[in-house]
Amino acid sequence: MDISSLLRDPSWFLASIDPETQNLAFVETHLTNLRSAPFLDGRVSISARDKIVHVPIKKALKADIYQTHPDRLLTHMSFCGSTYVSRTLEGAGEALSYREPHALVELATLKALGHSITKDYSFWIDLLRLTLSQYRKPWPNVVPLVKPSNWANSLLSDLLEASPDAKIVSLEFGARDYLVANLRGGRSRLQYSLNLLNHFLSANNAFRGAVLDVERANLDPMQRLLRLSVIVFETQKQILDRTIDESNGHRFKWASVSKDPQTHLPRIAQALDFNLSQDSISTARAKEHGHHAKDKSETYTVDEEVRRNKEISDQFAEDLNLALNWRSSKLGLAA
């Protein structure tokens, strides 16, 4: 198969980018593998034949990969229901969600580290445009959607430069809801948020002075974690405020979506230019009900999430209020 054919064939999935050899790594897959994987970040194999094909970036950039689909991007803050939304749109019949492709995480990390591959701006934007093109290759009767990892939020302005006509939706939290979601997920979520903060610091996105203020304050462990989580939240919100507005996208609060999915999921579908009926979305919602979006072996309901959120809010009310008051006084933002 020649390079142009591979780059147009949806069964070849762009799995990774090697900046040192300047190669793209592709694995052969099936539509069912892509849909069943919770994330496309390498943790779950989607390969059909355990075969990897490497393509030089410079050759790929010269190839003819004309496609008709626009980019559709579902961006999001951490832990705010984006996987559930992407699975529901997928289950409604038309969409294929590329959930958190690892190549976008790699590109975000390369930019944060100031790697040499990012220095030639024209080459860099062409590489992003090429990468996005690999997640909109047309399977029969399927419309692709990309849900980047929130790690790639640091890359968002560049992605929109590479794809100015993209259909884009963001899912977001309020500050208190974000902190509660972190606590609800326990140690693994809190550790992820700290790793995400370090990434944003490398990318010069985070409030560096506020981080230093927290680390020098001799706080108890809970207050330290909450204040650092406030900074992670505010960094994500700042990125979304800078890059998405009424002129180029639509923003939704998870609290509204989870409270009234019958109203908001069709609006999300419309914003992403999916031709989905109210009935098909309702059917997909019913199918997803009771299942954890990231692990089908686990149970999950919105009612259970609401119950747990109230328990956590009550249990940690004093700590949450302290952290949000600090947000107001230190960052100048309303609690």
pLDDT at 71 over 70: yes
191 and 165 in a common domain: no
Q: Residue 168 has what pLDDT?
A: 97
200 and 58 in a common domain: no
Q: What is the distance between the alpha carbons of residues 136 and 145, in angstroms, rounded to a whole number?
A: 7
Q: Residue 331 has what pLDDT?
A: 80
The whole model's pTM is what? Answer: 0.93
168 and 192 in a common domain: no
Range of the domain at 267: 3-174+240-303
Across 262-295, b (16+ Cβ under 10 Å) vs e yields eebbbebbebbebebeeebbbebbeebeebebee
Q: Residue 335 has what pLDDT?
A: 46
pLDDT at 36 over 80: yes
Q: Residue 227 has what pLDDT?
A: 97
210 and 138 in a common domain: no
User: What is the phi/psi pair of residue 102, to 5°?
Assistant: -65, -30
pLDDT at 270 over 90: yes
Q: Picking from 17-26, 198-207, 315-324, which range would have the lowest pLDDT averaged per residue?
A: 198-207
Long-range contact set of residues 324-329: C-beta below 8 Å, sequence gap at least 24: 324/175, 324/176, 324/179, 324/230, 326/227, 326/230, 327/175, 327/227, 327/230, 327/234
Under 8 Å between Cβ of 305 and 312: no
Across the range 35-49, mean pLDDT stands at 89
Q: What is the distance between the alpha carbons of residues 14 and 98, in angstroms, rounded to a whole number?
A: 11
The residue length of the chain stands at 335
3-state secondary structure of 52: strand
183 and 159 in a common domain: no
Q: Residue 333 has what pLDDT?
A: 63
191 and 170 in a common domain: no
230 and 139 in a common domain: no
Across the range 225-252, mean pLDDT stands at 95
pLDDT-derived band at 295 (thresholds 50, 70, 90) equals: low
Across the range 245-263, mean pLDDT stands at 92
Across the range 12-29, mean pLDDT stands at 96
Residue 39 lies in a domain: yes
Residue 250 lies in a domain: yes
Residue 115 DSSP label:
-
CATH of the domain at 119: 3.40.50
Residue 335 lies in a domain: no
197 and 91 in a common domain: no
Under 8 Å between Cβ of 290 and 299: yes
Q: Residue 211 has what pLDDT?
A: 94
pLDDT, tens only, 74-103: 999 999 999 999 999 998 877 899 999 999
326 and 221 in a common domain: yes
77 and 220 in a common domain: no
- The count of structural domains within the chain is 2
312 and 298 in a common domain: no
pLDDT-derived band at 203 (thresholds 50, 70, 90) equals: very high
Q: What is the distance between the alpha carbons of residues 49 and 76, in angstroms, rounded to a whole number?
A: 33
Q: Residue 147 has what pLDDT?
A: 97
Residue 254 lies in a domain: yes
182 and 169 in a common domain: no
Across the range 176-192, mean pLDDT stands at 95
Across the range 160-174, mean pLDDT stands at 95
